[in-house]
């Protein structure tokens, strides 16, 4: 079943932004997150093994809802659709990328951080937008200010979000979920400390509301 981006975001206490450097990390990392209660996963296309990692997680971790992040081109969209991604995410929304997203009817969170960008993307039919880089682009006060004239535009803030400030974002009426890398710390991933990651995911899911 294809879920809309709104449904995906509403089902996620947060969306981890994952960077896989070693393919062997992909499945145990995804299992640890899912066991901890974080099921919607964004595996970024920032490393050469990313698409293989996505395919392996989809094949081996049935509880995961696997999407891809850092899409930059039409080719990225084709690759992600072919790999079976449930959704895609980008830090921005360049024209070529957005044309491919529309042509593929691919559930997508385009990135933006200004009212004009948000209005254009909402006009094009995107019901949830990535607000990136959230803290550097004005954080909670910026999103709060946008909610007054644009209450129907919903966001997933990412960039500088942590367990300490996630609740401040989630308390805003225009925020449906948040994204971040804090549940996948590089050191624990490199050490293969999946218990620590599962515990961090569990702490996060409980704190933000297991959905």
Ligand X SMILES: O=C[C@H](O)COP(=O)(O)O
Residues forming contacts to ligand CC(=O)C(=O)O in the complex (CB under 6 A) are: 17, 44, 69-70, 89-91, 130, 132, 158, 179
Q: What minimum distance in Å lies between the beta carbon of 179 and ligand CC(=O)C(=O)O?
A: 6
Q: Of 36 and 179, which has the nearer Cβ to ligand CC(=O)C(=O)O? A: 179
Q: Which residues contact 49 (CB under 8 A, 6 or more apart)?
A: 20, 21, 22, 23, 26
Q: What minimum distance in Å lies between the beta carbon of 70 and ligand CC(=O)C(=O)O?
A: 4
The encoded tokens of residue 184 equal 């996948």
Q: Of 35 and 109, which has the nearer Cβ to ligand CC(=O)C(=O)O? A: 109
- The whole-angstrom separation of Cα 211 and Cα 205 is 8
Q: Of 92 and 102, which has the nearer Cβ to ligand X? A: 92
- Annotation says 167 is catalytic: no
Instruction: Return the one option of ligand X, ligand CC(=O)C(=O)O, none that residue 89 interacts with (CB less than 5 to 8 A, by type).
Output: ligand CC(=O)C(=O)O
> Where does 37-113 have alpha helices with state H?
50-60, 74-83, 95-104
- Annotation says 42 is catalytic: yes
DSSP 84-100: T-S-EE-SS--HHHHHH
Instruction: Return the one option of ligand X, ligand CC(=O)C(=O)O, none that residue 13 interacts with (CB less than 5 to 8 A, by type).
Output: none
Q: What minimum distance in Å lies between the beta carbon of 185 and ligand X?
A: 10
Within the chain, strands assigned E span: 15-18, 40-44, 65-69, 88-89, 108-109, 111-112, 128-131, 154-157, 179-180
Catalytic residue among 42, 72, 99, 144, which? 42
Q: Which residues contact 183 (CB under 8 A, 6 or more apart)?
A: 14, 16, 33, 36, 38, 197, 200, 201, 204
The residues that are catalytic are: 42, 130
């Amino acid at each position: 079943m294809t879920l809309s981006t709104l449904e995906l975001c509403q089902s996620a206490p947060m969306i981890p932004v994952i960077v896989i450097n070693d393919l062997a990390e992909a499945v145990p990392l995804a299992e640890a997150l899912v066991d901890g209660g974080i099921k919607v996963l964004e595996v970024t296309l920032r490393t050469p093994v990313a698409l293989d990692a996505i395919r392996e997680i989809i094949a081996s971790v049935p509880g995961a809802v696997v999407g891809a992040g850092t899409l930059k081109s039409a080719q990225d969209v084709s690759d992600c659709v072919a790999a079976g991604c449930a959704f895609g995410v980008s830090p921005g929304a360049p024209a070529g990328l957005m044309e491919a997203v529309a042509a593929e009817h691919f559930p997508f969170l385009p990135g933006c951080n200004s009212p004009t960008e948000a209005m254009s993307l909402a006009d094009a039919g995107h019901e949830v937008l990535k607000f990136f880089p959230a803290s550097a682009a004005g954080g909670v006060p910026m999103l709060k200010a946008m909610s007054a004239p644009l209450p129907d535009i919903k966001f997933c803030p990412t960039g500088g979000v942590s367990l300490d400030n996630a609740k401040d974002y989630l308390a805003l009426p225009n925020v449906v979920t948040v994204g971040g890398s804090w549940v996948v710390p590089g050191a624990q991933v490199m050490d293969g400390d999946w218990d620590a990651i599962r515990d961090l995911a569990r702490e996060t899911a409980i704190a933000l509301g297991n959905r």
